[in-house]
Structure 1
Amino acid sequence: MLYGLAAFALVLCSLTPAGLVMTAVLEDRFPRPALPDRVDGIIVLGGMFDTRVARTRGVPELNEAADRATTARALAFRYPQARILFSGGVAAVLEEDIPETDVAEAFFAALELDPDRLLLDHRARDTFENAVYARELAQPQPGETWLLITSASHMPRAVGCFRVAGFDVVAYPVDYRTPSGPALWRPSTATTRNLEKVHFAIREYVGLLAYYLAGRTDALFPAPR
């Protein structure tokens, strides 16, 4: 009986659009807004650099969440007066690693971002700490506009944390992993991709529940106000 259920779940996750739909619910929660005329600051949450590769090879290496970094640099060009706040410390638990800020600093320097515009938070180890330390570092003033850049599927939890931290931000999601429209219902022919999306979606849903129960977000599934 259990083996049959396990086999059914495996087929369901690997051959159907289940993972796409689960992920799209997260990604569509915060639509990307029209950009305002003025932006005072751009917050970029870590998770787009492979620190193990960077530490051992000495070069900044982007992973599949690279949109976070490239979009931040593009927006920095568009808003030359805006400060860029990168938040990402050491996430590794079982081995020694370097803070992601070390890699981010080298990456943005290579793309000729004025170092005086860059604020680096190396202490944050999770999304809630991203919010708390970003507010402490940015010291946002009334009337300022700060964009928050992170992966679209991660945006609901991130915004919930920033609200609890008292930092009013404009969600600017990137790093979409699902298509829109009819294409959403066509799973990949690579079954591992379908399984991967189920895995990451479940992890994010569990994170939303855990953060809400811990008082780290303002709602179980934060939404635009």
Structure 2
Amino acid sequence: MQRFGTLLLALAGLYLIVCSLTPLGLAMTAALENRFPQPVLPDKVAGIVVLGGSFDTRVSRTRHAPEVNEAADRVTAAMALARQYPEAKVLFSGGDASVFARDIPETQVARAFFLSLGLDPQRLILDGRSRDTYENARYSKQLADPKPGETWLLVTSAYHMPRAVGCFRKVGFAVVPVPVDYRTPAGADLWRPSNDTTRNLEKVHFALREYLGLLAYWIAGRTSALFPGPNP
């Protein structure tokens, strides 16, 4: 029993060393981020769907001002696209996803954010019911009510795009993926050693959570494939 305990301790130490001192987490995250390349944007777009996750709702609520987090690229990229396509609707999908205590829905903060940057409120559609990615897709389709021939863009973090696209395909909402908020470098820099152990561990955590999410959604029938990718 003592040898078994020693073995487990050694394996745990080895796991910690590998995760914190190697590019393992970066490689795992990059596999998700590289799944969908940057698209060639069309000339005309009917709407832009941007998924929640960009705002710290607790800080925003208590500080009485929109406060973004590390996924801020989702909303800043959506705003840039809104200016590129001045006729397109902007559909923000994100409710209250808190687990331990109820908070304000992200839509409340998103509305203040987009309007403060000059977006016409008539163009803004808010989905405050969604609590997860599948509900993002489901309720977005209901609110967007896409017509045949329309093009809708989907904006979310690159590492989250495979699961998001799988959910949108599952509910029958065809979208053009526009990945943003990259967390890993491209090319040879991906494999460059780093002594930033916190960042390395964080990347393993993010990647494992997303892979487990893909598996759980696929088992539950909430996504179109185990690891959704671009259409042929």
Q: TM-score, normalised by structure 2?
A: 0.96
Q: Which residue of 1 aligns with 2:4?
A: none
**Residue type of the alignment partner of 1:2:** L
Q: How many angstroms does 1:166 deviate by?
A: 0.6
Structure 1 ranges of 4+ moved more than 2 A: none
Cα RMSD, aligned residues only: 0.6
Is residue 65 of structure 2 the alignment partner of residue 44 of structure 1? no
- 8 Å contact kept, 1:27–1:176: yes
Instruction: State the distance in 1 between where 2:29 and 2:62 align.
Output: 33
Q: Deviation per CA, 1:19-57, whole angstroms, max 9, x where unpaired?
A: 000000000000011111111100000000000100111
Q: Which residue of 2 aligns with 1:175?
A: 181
Is residue 13 of structure 2 the alignment partner of residue 7 of structure 1? yes
SS in 2 for 1:150: strand
Identity %: 69
**Residue type of the alignment partner of 2:102:** E
Aligned residue among 200, 203, 206 for 1:197: 203
SS in 1 for 2:126: strand
Instruction: State the distance in 1 between where 2:69 and 2:193 align.
Output: 23
Is residue 72 of structure 2 the alignment partner of residue 66 of structure 1? yes
Is residue 199 of structure 2 the alignment partner of residue 213 of structure 1? no
Q: Which moved more, 1:32-41 or 1:138-147?
A: 32-41
Instruction: State the distance in 1 between where 2:42 and 2:51 align.
Output: 20
- 8 Å contact kept, 1:20–1:187: no
Show structure 2 runs of 5+ residues with no match: 1-6
Q: Which residue of 1 aligns with 2:155?
A: 149
Show structure 1 runs of 5+ residues with no match: none
Q: How many angstroms does 1:178 deviate by?
A: 0.4
Q: Deviation per CA, 1:128-168, whole angstroms, max 9, x where unpaired?
A: 00000000000000000000000000000000000011100
**Residue type of the alignment partner of 1:14:** S
Paired residues, number: 225
Q: Which residue of 2 aligns with 1:127?
A: 133
**Residue type of the alignment partner of 1:153:** Y
Where does 1:24-103 land on structure 2 (aligned, <5 Å)?
24-103=30-109
- 8 Å contact kept, 1:109–1:115: yes
Larger-Rg structure: 2
